[in-house]
Chains A and B, each alone.
Chain A
Amino acid sequence: MDAGLELRGIVAGYGQGDILRGLDLDVPAGQITCLIGPNGSGKSTVLRVISGLLAPRSGQVLLGGQRVTGRPPRAMLDLGVAHVPQERSLFPAMSVWDNVLMGAYISRDRDAVARRATEIASRFPLVAQRRHELAGSLSGGEQKTVEIARTMMLDPPVLCFDEPSAGLEPRARKTVFGILADLSGDGRTILLVEQNARSGLAIAHRGAVLDAGIVRLAAPAAELLDSPDIGRLYLGASLRSRERTSDEPRGTQRIRGPAPHRDLRL
Chain B
Amino acid sequence: MTTLLAVEGLTKSFGGIRALDECSFEIAEGSVGALIGPNGSGKTTAFNVITGFQPADAGRLTFRGRAVRHPDPCRLQRLGLARTFQQARIFAGLTVLENVVLGRNQSWRALLGRRVSGSDRRRAEDLLDEFGLAAHADRPAGRLSYGQRKLLEFASVLMADPILVLLDEPAAGINPIMVKTMEDHIRRRHAQGVTFIIVEHEMKFVMRLCDPVIVLDRGRRIACAAPEIVQNDPRVLDAYLGD
The interface of chain A, by Cβ under 8 A from chain B, is 15-17, 38-40, 167, 195-200, 230-232, 234-237, 261, 263-266
Contacts and interface: CB of A to CB of B under 8 A. Distances in A.
B203 A234 contact: yes
B207 interface: yes
A263 B132 CA distance: 18
A209 to B, nearest CB: 11
8 contacts: A38-B203, A195-B242, A196-B242, A230-B241, A237-B231, A265-B175, A266-B148, A266-B181
A170 B89 CA distance: 36
Given A195-B242, A199-B243, A231-B241, A237 B207 contact: yes
B157 interface: no
Contact of B237 (A38, A199, A231): A231
- Grouping DSSP codes into helix (H, G, I), strand (E, B) and loop, the B interface class, with mixed when no group exceeds half, is helix
B145 A236 contact: no
A17 B145 CA distance: 11
B177 interface: yes
B243 A198 contact: yes
B209 to A, nearest CB: 11
B30 interface: no
Contact of A235 (B174, B176, B177, B240): B240
Interface of B: 38-40, 132, 145-148, 172-178, 181, 201-207, 227, 230-231, 236-237, 240-243
Given A40-B172, A236-B231, A266 B147 contact: yes
Given A195-B242, A235-B236, A40 B207 contact: no
A118 B148 CA distance: 54
A133 B123 CA distance: 62
B39 A39 contact: yes
Contacts of A167: 40
Residue with the highest number of chain B CB atoms closer than 10 Å, among A167, A195, A235, A266: A235
Instruction: Sort A-B residue pairs by CB-CB distance and give the 5 closest, nearest first.
Output: A236-B203, A196-B242, A39-B201, A231-B237, A236-B204
B242 A261 contact: no
Contacts of A264: 175, 177
Contacts of A230: 241
A40 B206 CA distance: 15
A16 B173 CA distance: 11
Contacts of A236: 202-207, 227, 231
B234 to A, nearest CB: 9
A151 B176 CA distance: 38
A232 B237 CA distance: 9
Contacts of B236: 235
Contacts of A263: 175
A261 B177 contact: yes
Nearest to B176: A261
A236 B230 CA distance: 11
A266 B206 contact: no
A15 B174 CA distance: 11
Contacts of B132: 266
A195 B38 contact: yes
Contacts of B38: 195
A196 B201 CA distance: 16
A17 B175 contact: yes
Residue with the highest number of chain B CB atoms closer than 10 Å, among A40, A231, A263: A231
B112 to A, nearest CB: 30
B201 A198 contact: no
